[in-house]
Structure 1
Amino acid sequence: MSNYLAIATVTATLQRTLQATIQVDVDGARVTTVRPDSVGSGTPETGVNLYLYNVAHNPAWGNADLRTRNTERDFLKRPLVALDLHYLISCYGNENELEPQRLMGSVVRTFHARSILTREVIEDTVADSTYSYLADSNLADQMETVKLIPLSLSMDELSNLWSVFLQTPHSLSVAYEARVVLIESDDIPQRALPVRERRFFAAPNQPQIEQVVPQSGRLQPILADSTLIIQGQRLQSNLTLLSIGGVKITPQQVSTNQIVLPLSSLPQGSLRAGVQSLQVIHPRSTPTRMGRNARVPSQEMRGIESNVAAFVVRPTIQETSLSNLDETADDLRTAQVTVDIDLPIAKTQRVVLLLNERSIERPAAYLFDAAPRTADTNSLTFSIYDVKPGEYLVRVQVDGAESLLNVDTNSNSPTFEQYIGPTVVIP
């Protein structure tokens, strides 16, 4: 996190970044950080003025410091405030030579190309003798990077900003937001001793899932044909059901502490790639009386449910194909790549294609999103563009779950222990 110098450090970093570029684009231009008033403002005759006109709380980090004290009012963690900084960048100069417009182009180009304040840029600013008063700033250590986002102000907002707030004639301007600055207090929190033993607390007879691992090994990927080992407590009952992604199934191998489930036993088409939820259910049935002697058939009650565990199923590419190949003027290619997956992909899932050239000399790499889908499908189409010819290893990511590459296990092969597929050739 950052200390109280974070806001000033962001301003100084932006000033230093702009100064390095505008003085090259327009001779004699300089960057100031003063209020753009009409009298005695110190704004440059030729240059850019960077003015912080608003500081707002960042809503995404609004709950980041909840529960900072215990019942004795001692700090459990350092209080944290998250801020977004709003800057007005105004350009000044000879209107006849279009200096304000040239400076505006330089500003927009610079902030678009350097929209993230990297650790190195911040450290260089703090180390600059011009900003000796920022020597104790630790903004460079902030875990969240500061990003520049252009703000689209309407004509009414710009008019109010200049005429009401600043009360000065309008100058060619653009607004940016620096998001997010995290300022932490210097209070010393207290930390309890670590827990020696982890115990799960559950209601009587409630099943408890502790971990879900593939039978092939704890660190091995889970595929569509994997067998899951579900470990926990009180897993067995007169009737034990497993709920996976909303589908209920009766496992064949159940004990008190372990359930074995081949994923191939799930109904066809019910398993999806990506994160899956799993729950153990012990249903119960009870008769319902109507009148003194009448009965109706027993109704299945919801029963006792375990905690919800999660596991990730990785897709497997079965086939790749290329179509609609075209060549651009730069000897690059556009085409459509179709990838067939072993699991159905829901239309709402995000799918990404990853291409890595099979080359040892400056191999190229690309990433493309799948085309929109109107229904669940096992066949995905990707429109690729500006790709150089070559042979590429193909992977897909479905909600972050990445397909595996094939490895050459033939010790006599020249590609032994190298990735060899699946591939697509772009001629």
Structure 2
Amino acid sequence: MSNVLSIAAVTAVLKVLLENGLVSDPIAASVGDVIVTALPPDRISVEADERAQINLFLYQVTQNRNVDWVSQEFRSRHSRINGNPHSPSPPLALDLHYLLTAYGAKDFQSELLLGYAMHLLHKTPAITSDIIENTLINASTTNTSSAFSQAVASVSVSDLAEQIGQIKLTPEFFNMEETSKLWSALQTHYRPSATYLASMVLIESSKPENSEGFYIMPLSQPTIEQVMAPAKTDQIIVAGTTLVIRGKRLRGEITRIRLSNTETLIVPHDVKETQISLLVPSDLSASVQGIQVVHLTMGNAGQTDYVVESNVAAFVLHPTITAFVAQVENSGDNLRTAEITVKFQPKVGKAQRVVLLLNEASDNSPVAYSFLVASRTEDTDAITIPVKNIKPGTYIVRVQVDGAESPLHKKNQSGGYDSPEVTIL
């Protein structure tokens, strides 16, 4: 929880610094009883009962774009204190913008108080973690009934101070137009004021307690745009070859691949931000396959947790085959019957649909045949397929397994194919 207290802690530290400074500064004796608050300006009375008062109001929070400049040592310490040493994203870096206003019902009270406050903050351009820790201890014990004291009571003040680290405080000088816009937005009476920038506060996501099975989805979700065979190949994906995934934000802290809607994750052999390469498992079934990129993170107990998964993309895993013919017989009318045995890589599942395709390797009115293969009782890497009423000749052999077709091999530069083939005479 200490993370969410960072903004309030910085405000509390600045308020206590102003209060403590008044105790030892002679300005308090000349002005009288002075209070320091951290309220919206429209909540402060400016009528006849206006009193000597310094108010610190956080009017804006902006993103600090220089988070990459933070030293790796500090970021590692910040993450360790926050209980998330392997955060998948950098911390949220914030700048806090404060309006410092002085109030007083008597002549020169507001000017004296504003001068005192600006002088004190000018002497303290950087607030170290030691100052923050001592100030937070003071703030949490002085008024134990306040909302901030009760919130701080549930965390380690030293850890909170170390997490905040060092805060740099610098004045921001507005022109009259900017000042007018700010006070118009506040919808209250103008009083002498100055603006300050406190930089920077880091907020990092932490894993909630008892959050087993619960994961925060980061914005940097991986996206698969294309799944393909490597360049300079026949652009056909088969078992045992390399598969290339292209997309965006593909590399995570731990990157794995899921195939075919299984819980088994594959370790890719090359991971880049826009491309991943992996070896297609030899036991993956030939068919249309789904593929996902999965980002994991290392948990505090040394175990991996799921973080985010990409969209599901599809690719076709083609079977590779060899074929030979046997039991050729004459069936009349110059036609043949035969048995063609096809060996598959990978194995064919017993429930997969298999079709045998034969194309005559001839330039003289070539014929083509198609045979639906009977179902099987078990997975197998070889099927003997009976064919009937086939014209004698040499045939190029292809098979389709759940629609995924086996590739052919080119015979020459002209683009002809010669294998796999069988001859039926």
Calculate the TM-score normalised by the size of structure 1.
0.45
| Structure of larger gyration radius | 2
Structure with the higher fraction of residues in helix conformation: 2
Calculate the TM-score normalised by the size of structure 2.
0.45
